[in-house]
Amino acid sequence: MNRIQNFGAVVLALCLGLIGGYLWGGHRQAQIDEGREATVSELHAIALASATERYREAERGGQQAFANMTAALQKEKDNAKKRMDVLRDELRTGAVRLSVAVDAASAATAAQAAAAGDREARADLLPAAAGRILDFALEGDDIVRDLNACIDKYHRAEQVIEHAGM
pLDDT of residue 146: 94
Encoded amino acid at 21, one letter:
G
Tell me if the pTM is above 0.75.
Answer: no
pLDDT in tens, 53-99: 888 888 888 899 899 999 999 999 999 999 999 999 998 888 888 88
Pick from 65, 43, 67: nearest CA to 163: 65
pLDDT of residue 138: 92
pLDDT of residue 109: 56
Q: 141: Cβ–Cβ under 8 A, 6 or more apart, which residues?
A: 80
Q: 134: Cβ–Cβ under 8 A, 6 or more apart, which residues?
A: 84, 87, 88, 91
Please give the full DSSP string across 57-123, using - where no structure is assigned.
HHHHHHHHHHHHHHHHHHHHHHHHHHHHHHHHHHHHHTSS--EEE--HHHHS-HHHHHHHTTPPPEE
Alpha-carbon gap, residue 166 to 160, rounded angstroms: 9
Q: How much is the average pLDDT of 32-54?
A: 83
Q: How much is the average pLDDT of 104-133?
A: 71
Whole-number average pLDDT of the chain: 83
Q: Is 18 exposed, middle or buried (0-12, 13-18, 19+ CB in 10 A)?
A: exposed
pLDDT of residue 105: 67
pLDDT of residue 32: 77
Domain count, the chain: 1
- Domain coverage including residue 72: 3-164
